[in-house]
Amino acid sequence: MEQLSFVFRNAWLIPAIPLISFAVLGLLVSPISKRLAGIIGTVAIFISAAFSFLLAWSYFHSPAGREHTALITWTCEWLRYQTGLTVNIGVLVDPISVLLMIVVTTVSALVHLYSIGYMHGDEGYGRFFTYLNLFTFSMLGLVVAPNIIQMYICWELVGVSSFLLIGFHYQKPAAVAASNKAFIVTRFADSGFLVGILILGYYGYRLFGEFAPAAASAAVKNGVTNLQPFDFLYLNNPAVLAKLASINLHVFDISLLTAAMVLVFMGAAGKSAMFPLHIWLPDAMEGPTPVSALIHAATMVVAGVYLVARLFPAFAASGTALLVVAYVGAFTSIFAAIIGITQDDIKRVLAFSTLSQLGYMMLALGVATMEHPLGYSASMFHLFTHAFFKALLFLAAGAVIHAVNTNNIWEMGGLAKRLPVTHGTFLVATLAISGIWPFAGFFSKDEILASALAGGHYVVFAVALAVAGMTALYMFRIYFVTFWGKSRSDTAGHAHEAPVVMLLPLVVLAILSVVAGFVNFSNYVSIGEHPEHHGINPTVAVSATIAALTGIILAVFFYTGQTDRAAAMSRLLGRIYTLIKQKFYIDEIYLFITRRILFGFIARPFAWFDRNVVDGGVNLSAWITRTTGRELRYLQTGQVQVYSLWFVGGMLFLLLVLWAGAR
């Protein structure tokens, strides 16, 4: 292959710069000067972002980029078990990793900039930037991972960073509880991911001798000279997948591949907060708002989507696993949208909106196939646009919270005049997420809906269309309640616009939310032999717009000016309203299952077994030893005659034995 250019060879710098910055900030700078920590952390991410854009430009203008070929631009051996079984770390450059690098570095850089203003005066200012840098490094490491092991490591690292940042205000019990919840729930999901990796790794390694030569010769064009069993290039090889899919587990009649991919999807569902593992994300809003924008809206939570996209050929080879992805995604998206309509905390509404949109991305992946990869492109497109407008929504919500010191939308109101820039950018993002032309969300949603329709998944399409309407409803609900009408509290009446350093990222993201949709996305990101180019499908576009407008009209009807109609409606729905408002009691069900069933029926018997049987066994052996010693002590009289008596007795006994044996 041709010599790689400077940019490709040094692509490892993109994750490395935040890592170095993290170490420098954490060890040297933040104890000395907090202000300097903020500046250095932000500058490091901006450099990384600039490098990402340079890489993206070079990649999409190279022959490899035009053919959507993956390139491994840098690699080194990290762990050697035995010859032929090593784990490398490296940098994989392909359309989706480049896409994610741009998204992560851009949003991260803007969030860093915003945090300089938002976190001003906070005690943990330096610590905050240190953690943000750690997160950015981990996320970039995950994105560029060329093998599943590196991905898993960084997967856990982003989990740790998320834990640290949700619990950033560790004096607040709610924040601590939320960080624990997030970590435990995602860790639980990751146990499935790990088992999936082990299955794939074990069988991948066993089949390595058979398939490696073909896979390796195919991988030469990717710049790979030593293919390893954990590499995505090997795991996504069609021949390997066909072999794995042909192994029947004889349990529920599913193939080995399906089992492995469903387990991997469990990890993805945990990280991307798919139902029923979604419970951690709304609570994660206890973290500072920039964290919610960066980690719990734009980047970390899309890691699950990214994982499914990364292993898409494997999911596609096992059709069942892909169907699971589609239906879990679709269900989550409508489930979260329904809850989102009833929540009062502005950040929680946005959190449920994130859940819903992540479900959208998942369902888009679920309806794609290797032959018709439109859903794949659509999912990545929505990931791309969603990152910008959702980060913008969170940052704007942060500016509002910064101004009024409350999260409850019913204590805001009338903020449009007091916070003009925040209002304008929030409106742009709301229109974008609702899918109104020409804002970014319109294009990506349109593509998702079109792919669901084209794939023949009519149920999924109907769900997605309903969700589009509900998205517009709940977004315009919080928009109207927050910015229109009269101020409903004193603080809202005296709110002031945020400093320029916070407004600048809002404006940049607002511009991105407008223009991001015009990128001809499927030209850049696609998979398989036949990339599909999508124009606007009039049927889909019109129906989606009608759905969105219906949602907006409902929001106008219920929430502009007065709120009597909304109150009357909630009274009319009665129990159903309470059920939705309490998030379908999923948290309570979890508590019931863990406390009553797991603790009561499993943990308690196990504890009893441990205390009485296991510990009892140990104590018994100690008791036997002690008692034997105590009893045998009386044999040692100190009198030589007694010893000799034993000696003679023993000798006679031996003689008797020998004599009996000789006969």
Question: Footprint of other proteins on this chain (CB under 8 A)?
Answer: 636-641, 644-645, 648
Q: In the complex, what is the shortest distance from the CB of residue 659 to other proteins, in angstroms, rounded to a whole number?
A: 15
Q: Which is nearer to other proteins, 575 or 633 (CB)?
A: 633
- Which is closer to other proteins, CB of 209 or CB of 629? 629
Q: How far is the CB of 656 from other proteins (least distance, A)?
A: 16
Please, is 414 exposed, middle or buried when counting C-beta atoms within 10 Å of its C-beta (0-12, 13-18, 19+)?
Answer: middle
Nearer residue to other proteins within complex by CB, 171 or 636: 636
| 345 three-state secondary structure | strand
By C-beta, is 585 or 643 nearer to other proteins? 643
Rounded to a whole number of angstroms, the minimum distance from the CB of residue 643 to other proteins is 8
Range 558-564 contact pairs with CB under 8 angstroms and sequence separation of 24 or more = 558/477, 559/476, 559/477, 559/480, 559/481, 559/484, 560/480, 560/484, 560/485, 561/484, 561/485, 562/485, 563/481
Q: Which is nearer to other proteins, 226 or 644 (CB)?
A: 644
User: Is the Cβ of residue 538 or residue 638 nearer to other proteins in the bound state?
Assistant: 638
CB of 632 to other proteins, least distance (A): 13
Q: Which residue's CB is nearer to other proteins, number 50 or number 648?
A: 648
- Report the nearest approach of other proteins to the CB of residue 625 (Å): 21
Phi/psi for 91 (5° steps) reads -125, 120
Inter-residue contact 281 to 355 (CB < 8 Å): yes
Q: For other proteins, which is the closer residue by CB, 250 or 633?
A: 633
Distances from the Cα of 522 to the Cα of 71, 103, 371, 532, angstroms:
19, 17, 14, 7
> What does the H/E/C string look like for 68-98?
CCCEEEEEEEEEEEECCEEEEEEEEECHHHH
Q: How far is the CB of 661 from other proteins (least distance, A)?
A: 22
Give the C-alpha separation, 108 to 96, whole Å: 18
Minimum distance of other proteins from residue 645's CB (angstroms): 5
Query: Measured from the CB of residue 191, what is the shortest distance to other proteins in angstroms?
Result: 59
What is the rounded CA–CA span in Å between residue 458 and residue 204?
36
- Which is closer to other proteins, CB of 624 or CB of 658? 658
- What amino acid is encoded at 447 in this protein? E
* Alpha helices by DSSP H, 496-638: 500-515, 521-524, 538-559, 564-573, 575-581, 586-591, 604-608, 615-632
Q: Kindly state the smallest distance separating residue 650's Cβ from other proteins, in Å.
A: 13
Q: Which is nearer to other proteins, 76 or 640 (CB)?
A: 640
Tell me whether residue 79 or residue 645 sits nearer to other proteins (CB atom).
645
Cβ pair 158, 124 in contact under 8 A: no
Least distance to other proteins, CB of residue 82, Å: 57
Q: How far is the CB of 639 from other proteins (least distance, A)?
A: 5
Query: Which among 413, 409, 550, 569 is positioned nearest to 472, based on CA atoms?
Result: 550
Alpha-carbon dihedral of residues 24, 26, 28, 34, nearest 10 degrees?
Answer: 110
3-state helix, strand, coil in the chain (%, to 5): 75, 5, 20
Judged by CB, which is closer to other proteins: 574, or 638? 638
Minimum distance, C-beta of residue 640 to other proteins, in the bound complex (Å)? 7
- C-alpha angle with apex 335: 329 to 341, nearest 5 degrees? 130
Helices 125-143 and 13-24: angle between axes, nearest 10 degrees = 160
Question: Could you tell me which of 350, 360, 349 has the C-alpha nearest to residue 305?
Answer: 360
SS3 147: strand
Cβ nearer to other proteins, comparing 518 with 647: 647
Radius of gyration of the chain (CA): 30
What's the rounded Cα separation, in Å, for the pair 461 and 330?
Answer: 9
Which amino acid appears at position 427 of this protein? L
Which is nearer to other proteins, 252 or 634 (by Cβ)? 634
CB of 646 to other proteins, least distance (A): 10
Question: DSSP code of 272?
Answer: T
* 247 SS3 class: coil
Provide the minimum distance between the beta carbon of 630 and other proteins in the complex, in angstroms, as a whole number. Answer: 15
CB of 641 to other proteins, least distance (A): 6
Which residue number, 592 or 643, has a Cβ lying nearer to other proteins? 643
What are the tokens at 173? 């019990």
Sign of CA dihedral 289, 291, 294, 299: negative
